[in-house]
Amino acid sequence: KNSASSFSSPARSATFPLPPQPRRSRHRRMATFSTFTVDKTENGEGRPRSNSKGGGSGGAHTIQRRRDGPPDTKVVEEGSARRNIVRKGGNSEVARHAKTDVVDDGSSVLYGQSPPIEPGDPLYDPYENDENYVLVSADESVTNGPRSPPRHNYDPDHRRMVFGPMLTLSEFKRRVVEALNEYFSSEDAEETIGTIKELGCPEYHYEVVKRAISMAMDRKERERELVSKLLSASSPELLTTDQLGKGFERLFEFIDDLELDTPGATEITAAFLARAVVDEIIPPAFLVDPVVVGLGGDVVAQTKRILSRDHQYSRVERIWGPGDGRPVSELKVAIDQLLVEYLLSKQLSEAERCVREMEVPHFHHELVKRAVAAVLDKPADEQAAMLNLLAHLHKTETVSPAQLEQGFQKLFQKLPDLVLDSPNASRVINSFLAQTKEFCPEAEGWALKANGDRAEAATNGANGTNGHA
């Protein structure tokens, strides 16, 4: 009895089922490497070794890999599909020489090398076959190569990254106060900016604006000018426009409390805000923002009045007075005006106050020099009044002995030019020096020298000698 699923044998009448035949596709397939151990079992030919106890056709099978050599290759007819496994981005030659182990399926032997990837292909890598590379140290790569972004939030104590600010707000405020006190002494804005950046708390940088301005309110014009310069130098490296605006908004919220501690805090804050607008670190549109106007109130209104004056930019740049770091030439003009007003009023206390408000103790030698030079051709009473001013400034410790000595040294150095305008210059200067020794004992040890033979000739000529013994 013959059928599609069984056949009859003359010797044996038993019927044996045929092994299941795989379904053939329309296109013939390429035979690949055989990686299984195949044996004949009672269940049929060509089946993998069965591990099932029943030995039936529906049991589970185990697949074993060959370990006794490379697999066999079966070649099929031409026209079958081609199976070529190649590492993505390269060719077979590169795959065999790659540092990682890549299984070669033999397709390069059957069908030849794959065509190389040409430049312009998305998978083309110009350095894929280049073995001429040099390994460099990390320090050299950082120095000469591209730098990685700075990681400010790395905590060296715990050896891990910290997400968010590294300090609490109260600790950050304390560190900022220390940095600002140091800045008022050193006047080094770059060092202060670096110190604050090293704290690793950019989320709190707006507190720098509030803390710096509130500290400057209790100080003189010198510190206020330093704060204005620090804010200008900090933008945008340390303080962005938003952080500057937020810092001023925080000041607006506490302006009533600041007014109780420092009368005139509203005017000082308005001056700082106007200076920030002139320095172009805050846009003028900040003053018309509804939220800012609502918070600022009188401060914003007064700032608008300051900026609406004639020549407001030149005025606001010098809003903190003569001690605001203006050029030396302008300081000399301010000193001359002070001396003229003193000779008219003869008020020692008022003159002392003006000298202190200038906040230029390192420039007091210029005050001594110009005070003596101003009365070389004046009557004796004005010369005596100027000497009284120097004695009063020394007594109140406004002008130090070192600044007095340096001022007289400059007078002797300029003596040749002074004698041309005032023939009695040498006599008047020596008279001032002799009387200075009466109220300043340190003047006894001063070693004052004139410059060159012209000064000696001028001194001898003023004393009525010819320069010979």
The DSSP result for 217-271, as a single string, is HTS-HHHHHHHHHHHHHHTTTT--HHHHHHHHHHHHHTHHHHHHHSTTHHHHHHH
Give the model's pLDDT for residue 117.
79
Average pLDDT over residues 223-231: 91
Give the model's pLDDT for residue 97.
47
In this predicted structure, the answer to whether residue 38 has a pLDDT above a threshold of 80 is no
Average pLDDT over residues 274-286: 93
In this predicted structure, the answer to whether residue 112 has a pLDDT above a threshold of 50 is yes
Whether the Cβ atoms of residue 323 and residue 357 lie closer than 8 Å to each other: yes
Give the model's pLDDT for residue 442.
86
Q: Which of 4-13, 26-35, 365-374 has the lowest mean pLDDT?
A: 4-13
Give the model's pLDDT for residue 322.
55
Whether the Cβ atoms of residue 426 and residue 458 lie closer than 8 Å to each other: yes
Q: Which of 122-131, 217-226, 273-282 has the lowest mean pLDDT?
A: 122-131
Find the Cα–Cα–Cα–Cα dihedral 399, 400, 402, 405, rounded to 10°: 50
Q: Which of 269, 282, 289, 287 is nearest to 227 (CA)?
A: 269
* Identity of the amino acid at 256: D
Give the model's pLDDT for residue 455.
45
Helix (H, G, I), strand (E, B) or coil at 38: strand
Helix (H, G, I), strand (E, B) or coil at 9: coil
CB neighbours (10 Å) of residue 396?
Answer: 13
In this predicted structure, the answer to whether residue 266 has a pLDDT above a threshold of 80 is yes
DSSP class per residue in 345-385: H--HHHHHHHHHHH--GGGHHHHHHHHHHHTTTS-HHHHHH
In this predicted structure, the answer to whether residue 391 has a pLDDT above a threshold of 90 is yes
Nearby residues of 151 by Cβ (< 8 Å), 6 or more positions away: 161
Q: Which of 240, 262, 229, 243 is nearest to 254 (CA)?
A: 262
Average pLDDT over residues 441-447: 83
Phi-psi bin for 311: left (phi > 0), alpha (psi -120 to 50), beta? left
Beta bridge partners of 44: 41
- In this prediction, residue 23 has a pLDDT band, given cuts at 50, 70 and 90, of low
Beta bridge partners of 50: 61
Average pLDDT over residues 181-207: 92
In this predicted structure, the answer to whether residue 369 has a pLDDT above a threshold of 90 is yes
Phi-psi bin for 346: left (phi > 0), alpha (psi -120 to 50), beta? left
pLDDT single digits (tens) 65-77 = 445 555 555 554 5
Give the model's pLDDT for residue 234.
93
DSSP 30: P
Whether the Cβ atoms of residue 166 and residue 173 lie closer than 8 Å to each other: no
- What global pTM score does this model have? 0.44
Give the model's pLDDT for residue 161.
63
Q: What percent of the chain has pLDDT over 70?
A: 61
- 18-24, long-range: CB < 8 A, 24+ apart: 19/44, 19/45, 19/46, 19/47, 20/44, 20/57
Average pLDDT over residues 4-31: 51
Give the model's pLDDT for residue 454.
46
In this predicted structure, the answer to whether residue 358 has a pLDDT above a threshold of 90 is no
Q: Longest C-alpha distance within the chain, in Å?
A: 163
Give the model's pLDDT for residue 61.
46
Higher pLDDT, residue 355 or 92: 355
Q: Which of 51, 46, 53, 52 is nearest to 20 (CA)?
A: 46
Average pLDDT over residues 333-353: 91
In this predicted structure, the answer to whether residue 214 has a pLDDT above a threshold of 60 is yes
Give the model's pLDDT for residue 165.
78
Give the model's pLDDT for residue 463.
46
Average pLDDT over residues 170-198: 92
Q: What is the rounded CA–CA span in Å between residue 54 and residue 51?
A: 9
Q: What is the rounded CA–CA span in Å between residue 66 and residue 72?
A: 10
- In this prediction, residue 212 has a pLDDT band, given cuts at 50, 70 and 90, of very high
Q: What is the rounded CA–CA span in Å between residue 299 and residue 287?
A: 10
In this predicted structure, the answer to whether residue 93 has a pLDDT above a threshold of 60 is no
In this predicted structure, the answer to whether residue 249 has a pLDDT above a threshold of 80 is yes
Give the model's pLDDT for residue 127.
66
In this predicted structure, the answer to whether residue 240 has a pLDDT above a threshold of 90 is yes
Highest mean pLDDT among 7-11, 119-123, 338-342, 441-445: 338-342
Nearby residues of 401 by Cβ (< 8 Å), 6 or more positions away: 394, 440, 442, 443
Count Cβ neighbours within 10 Å for each residue of 291-318 and write b for 16 or more, e otherwise: ebbebbeebbebbbebbeeeebeeebee
Structure-block tokens of residue 346: 């003869």
Q: What is the rounded CA–CA span in Å between residue 93 and residue 116?
A: 10
Q: What is the rounded CA–CA span in Å between residue 177 and residue 389?
A: 38
Give the model's pLDDT for residue 444.
85
Tell me the Cα Rg of the chain: 47
Average pLDDT over residues 437-457: 71
Q: How much of the chain is helix, strand and coil, in % rounded to 5?
A: 55, 0, 45
In this predicted structure, the answer to whether residue 94 has a pLDDT above a threshold of 50 is no
Average pLDDT over residues 374-401: 92
Give the model's pLDDT for residue 304.
92
Give the model's pLDDT for residue 135.
52
Average pLDDT over residues 381-403: 91
Q: What is the mean pLDDT of the chain?
A: 74
Instruction: Report helix angle 241-253 to 206-217, nearest 10.
Output: 50
- In this prediction, residue 172 has a pLDDT band, given cuts at 50, 70 and 90, of very high
Helix (H, G, I), strand (E, B) or coil at 403: helix
In this predicted structure, the answer to whether residue 430 has a pLDDT above a threshold of 70 is yes
In this predicted structure, the answer to whether residue 41 has a pLDDT above a threshold of 50 is no
